[in-house]
Structure 1
């Protein structure tokens, strides 16, 4: 019998992938890729070797997807950033399921450095970026390594399209 937590985690990764593919318009109404070779297709990569490359690839982001009762966001963000480097992607973010909510309400967390780099890539000031993509800050204590910005998967889908357009 499969580990039930692994099954839940795999389902969450698949749900995130499917949602973002639909939100960015790379699939038809049946969930089939319009162009299977399009590099913008959101995918769940096969894990190879010791260097984990993340759960979901949504160019230029690596998403570390978590379906847990108690989120440890700073730990998840460190993991996402390492996995983004392993995969050769510029940005790593954590996507955490919200209990009893639809996938589009999942929380997408950005470390402050990543948030700033993404913000600059789309050419917006901090206030405009936070408002356009509905970000809220979590500024805990004086250790900026534990600070992060959060939006939901629905707003992240819009941001993903905008980042791709800006490239």
Structure 2
């Protein structure tokens, strides 16, 4: 029998992938890709072992998906940032399942540096960015390396669409 925690984790990764593909209009009503060769399709890559490239690729983000009882957000964020580098993506975020909630209510966490880089790419103020995408801060002590910003998967899908529109504008 498969490890039940691995099964839950894999299911969460698939749920996140499927939700984002549907929200971004990349799949039909049956969940099939409209264009299987589109580089912007959200995918679950094959695991790479020591040079892991993350759980879900949503260009330009690597998503480290977690379905756990006790979340260690700073650890998950460090992992997502390392995996983004391995995959050659500019941004890494953690997506944590919200217990007994719809996938759209999953929590998306970004380190302050990543959050700032995405905000600057979109050329909006901190306040405007936080309000538009529902981000709230978590400032843990004086160590800025442990600070992060949080939102839900639903507004993150809008953010992803906006970043992609910027990157692919004529």
Give yes or no for TM over 0.5: yes
Query: Per-residue CA shift, 1:22-50, capped at 9, x if unaligned?
Result: 00000011100000011110000001242
Number of matched pairs = 167
Give TM-score, length-normalised by structure 2: 0.97
Report what 1:40 is aligned to. 40
Query: Per-residue CA shift, 1:52-77, capped at 9, x if unaligned?
Result: 00000000000000000000000000
1:12 partner SS: helix
Report what 1:13 is aligned to. 13
Cα separation, 2, equivalents of 1:165 and 1:124: 15
Q: Give how far 1:132 is off.
A: 0.2
Cα separation, 2, equivalents of 1:86 and 1:152: 25
The alignment status of 1:116 with 2:116, answered yes or no, reads yes
Query: Per-residue CA shift, 1:100-131, capped at 9, x if unaligned?
Result: 00000000000000000000111111000000
Report what 1:53 is aligned to. 53
Report what 2:27 is aligned to. 27
Q: List gaps (5 residues or longer) in structure 2.
A: none
Cα separation, 1, equivalents of 2:49 and 2:7: 21
Cα separation, 2, equivalents of 1:72 and 1:11: 20
Report what 2:129 is aligned to. 129
State the 4+ residue runs in structure 1 displaced beyond 2 angstroms: none
Query: Per-residue CA shift, 1:82-102, capped at 9, x if unaligned?
Result: 000000000000000000000
2:50 partner SS: coil
Q: List gaps (5 residues or longer) in structure 1.
A: none
